[in-house]
Amino acid sequence: MSEICISLCPESVKEALKELKEGEKIGDLTELRLDYIKDINRENLEGILSKKTKPVIITNRNKKEGGHFAGSEEERLCILKRAMELKADFIDIEISSGHEVISEMIRDKKETRIICSYHNYKETPDIKDLEDIYEKIRSFNPDLVKIATFAKSVNDNFKVFTLLKNKKDLITLCMGIRGQISRILAQKFGSPLTYACLREDKSTADGQIGAKDLIDIYNFHSINIDTKILGVIGSYAENSLSKFIHNENFKKEGLNYIYIPFKTEPEELEGFMINFRKFNFHGSAVTIPHKVEIMKYLDCIEERTQKIGAVNTVVNDKEKLKGYNTDYQGAIRALEEKVRLKGKRALILGAGGAARAIGYGLKEKETEIIIANRREEKARKLAGELNVKYCSLNNIDKELYDIIINTTSVGMYPDAGRSVIEKKYLRGKTVFDIVYRPMVTQMIKDGKSVGAAIVEGYIMLLYQGVEQYKLWTGIMPDEKVAKKILFEQLKK
Ligand code: NAP
C-alpha cells in the first residue's frame, strides 16, 4: 500500500517542530528537508527528532541537487550521519553524493533505512535510461530507490509507470504540473509512497499536490491496483471542475474509480491515446482543443455523435474505444426544463463545437434554427450541414426568435462584463448562455433584467457531466451532490 509522505520545508527549528506536528496529522510519514532550516546543526537535530510520532525521512540536499543547504559538503553529510545516530527512520542520499559516501552510509546505517535518490529537474529520460539508472542505484544495495524526473509531456508519466513494473523497492514520480498523474496514481502502479505538501505555498517540488487535496479530492487512500482510471483530456484540463464532482460521487457510491486531469497538448494526443489503450484507462472526458482530433484514435463513434462531428466522452468498452457527445444532451435537457422546443425558433450565436452539438440536438426536436457567427463562412458551413439558415453576427434580425442561445466564448471570464447580444433583444425570449464562468454572465444578467426566461450554462455543464458518468459507470450519479459541488466550485 502506498503512503502519503508530507514533505516539510521549515525555515527554522521552531517552525520545524510546528510543521512536523501538522504534517503527522495528515500524512502517513513526513520528509524533513533539513536544507531549508537555516539554524539546523548537529546539536539541535535531536530536539526535532525526539518529537516525531510517525516515521520520518531526513533529507539534506545541496544546491547542485536542487536543494538549499548552504554549508560545505562535509557539514551536509555530518548532519545526515547525526540523523542516523539519532535513529531517523529513513535517510535520503542522492546518487550524486558518490560511491564512497553512499557505501559508508549503508554500512553504518543500523536501524535507519537508506533511500538512494536520482533527480532530474529538466526531463524524464527514456525508459531504457531509467532502467539503467535504477540498476546503477540498486547496485549500492539501498533499502529503497527513488527516481524523480521532470515531466515535459503527459506521456512521461507512462515511462515511470512502466519502470515500476515488478519492482517493490522503487519510489518514482514525475515533477511538474504534467507529472501530477504519477503522484495521484502512485498506489495504482506500485510506488510505495507519494510526496505531498502541507499547503500549496509550502511545496518542495514542482507539481507537488497538497496532501489534503490528495485525500479529499482524489480519495488517495482508496486507490488500488483495480481502480478504474478516468479523466479529462485537454490543454487546460487542470482547470476542469469535474474532478471535484465525479470523485465525490465515486466516494459516495463506493465505486472504485478515479477521475484526474490529463493535461495534454495537440502534439501529445496520439502518444497519449496509445498509452490510454496500453494502460487500459477506462474512459475520459474530452475538452478544448481535442474534441474533433480525438475521433481518429477511437474504434467507433456513436451514430448521433458521428453526425455532430465532435466527441466529448470516450468509453473503453472491453478494449474498444467508443466516442460519444453528451454536450447536446446536457444542453437540450437544460433548455427543455424551461421551454417546449418543438416548432420554436432558435437563434444560435456562434458556430464552434458547442453550437454544432446544440444545433443537432435542436434539429432532432424540430426546432427552427438560424446560426449567426462572427466569421460568416463558418456559420454558412454549419448551416449547410444542418440544412438551416445562417447570417453574420452583425446582421441578424434579432426580433424573430423565441430562444436565443450564446455558444460563443464572449462573456467568459476574464472578459466577464461583455455580452454578444444587446439587452433589448432579449425581452420575452428564452435566453440560454452556455458560458458558465462566471456563473451569472452579463447576458444572463441582461436577460433577467428584461424578464426573459433564463437557462444558465452551469446547468448544461451539470447535465452533460451526469450523462458522462452514466456512460462510464452504468450508474446515475447523485445529481444533488453534483450540483452542490459545482455551485461551491463556481462561487470560488
Ligand atoms: P469553439 O469551438 O472554439 O467556438 C468558439 C465560438 O465563439 C466560435 O463561433 C467563435 O467565432 C466565437 N467567438 C469567439 N470569440 C468571439 C468574439 N470575440 N466575438 C464573437 N464570437 C466569438 O468553442 P466551443 O467548444 O464551441 O465553446 C464555446 C464556449 O462554450 C466556451 O466558452 C465554452 O467554455 C462553453 N461551453 C460550455 C459548455 C457547458 O457545458 N456549459 C459545454 C461546451 C462549451 P469565430 O468562428 O468567428 O471565431
Q: Is the C-beta atom of 34 inside 6 A of ligand 1?
A: no
Catalytic residue among 52, 243, 291, 322: 291
Q: Is the CB of 308 under 6 A from ligand 1?
A: no
- Say what percent of the chain tops pLDDT 90: 95
The string of pLDDT tens digits covering residues 155-168 is: 999 999 999 999 99
Ligand 1: centre distance to CA 310 (Å): 14
Cβ 330 under 6 angstroms from ligand 1? yes
Nearest alpha-carbon partner for 153 in 266, 309, 31, 284: 266
Question: Which DSSP state fits 309?
Answer: T
| Ramachandran quadrant class, 267 (left: phi over 0; alpha: psi -120 to 50; beta: rest) | alpha
- Can 446 be counted among the known catalytic residues? no
Q: What is the pLDDT of residue 446?
A: 98
C-beta of 436 in contact with ligand 1 (< 6 A): yes
The rounded distance, in Å, linking the Cα atoms of 361 and 350 is 15
Mutate to test the pocket of ligand 1, among 232, 293, 409, 444 (most ligand atoms within 8 A of CB): 409
Cα of 411 to ligand 1 centre, how many Å?
10
Contact 234, 264 (CB under 8 A): yes
- Ligand 1 centroid–CA 153 distance in Å is 27
Render pLDDT for 170-217 as a digit per residue (tens, 0 to 9): 999 999 999 999 999 999 999 999 999 999 889 999 999 999 999 999
298 Cα to the center of ligand 1, angstroms:
25
With a 6 Å cutoff on the Cβ, whether 327 touches ligand 1 is yes
Residue-wise pLDDT tens digits, 19-55: 999 999 999 999 999 999 999 998 999 999 999 999 9
Ligand 1, atom 7, residue with closest C-alpha: 408
Question: Does the structure show a pLDDT above 80 at 399?
Answer: no
pLDDT at 418 over 80: yes
The pLDDT of residue 400 is 86
* Best CA proximity match to 391, nearest among 378, 376, 401: 376
Q: What is the pLDDT of residue 87?
A: 96
SS3 letters for 57-77? EEECCEHHHCCCECCCHHHHH
Say if CB 284 and CB 273 are below 8 A apart: no
The whole-number pLDDT of residue 392 equals: 87
Q: How far is 344 from 369, CA to CA, in rounded Å?
A: 9
pLDDT tens by residue, 75-132? 999 999 999 999 999 999 999 999 999 999 999 999 999 999 999 999 999 999 999 9
Q: Is the CB of 434 under 6 A from ligand 1?
A: yes
Which of 447, 343, 349 minimizes the C-alpha distance to 396?
A: 349
Distance 406 CA to ligand 1 centre (A): 8
Q: Is 409 in the pocket of ligand 1 (CB under 6 A)?
A: yes
251-306 tens-digit pLDDT: 999 999 999 999 999 999 999 999 999 999 999 999 999 999 999 999 999 999 99
Mean pLDDT (whole number) for 357-384: 96
**Which member of 119, 282, 290, 344 is catalytic?**
119
For ligand 1, pick from 311, 374, 375, 468 the residue to mutate: most ligand atoms within 8 Å of CB: 374
Q: What is the mean pLDDT of the chain?
A: 96
291 catalytic? Reply is yes
Output the residue whose Cα is nearest ligand 1's atom 35: 435
Q: Is 68 a catalytic residue?
A: no
pLDDT at 376 over 80: yes
- Average pLDDT on 343-351 reads 97
> Which of the two residues, 464 and 353, has the higher pLDDT score?
464
Going from the Cα of 261 to the center of ligand 1, the distance in angstroms, rounded, reads: 21
- Label residue 395 by pLDDT band (50, 70, 90): confident
Sheet holding 193-197, edge to edge: 170-175, 144-150, 113-120, 90-94, 56-59, 29-33, 3-8, 193-197
Q: What is the pLDDT of residue 398?
A: 74
| Ligand 1 center–CA 243 separation, angstroms | 22
pTM recorded for the entire structure: 0.94
Q: Is 317 a catalytic residue?
A: no
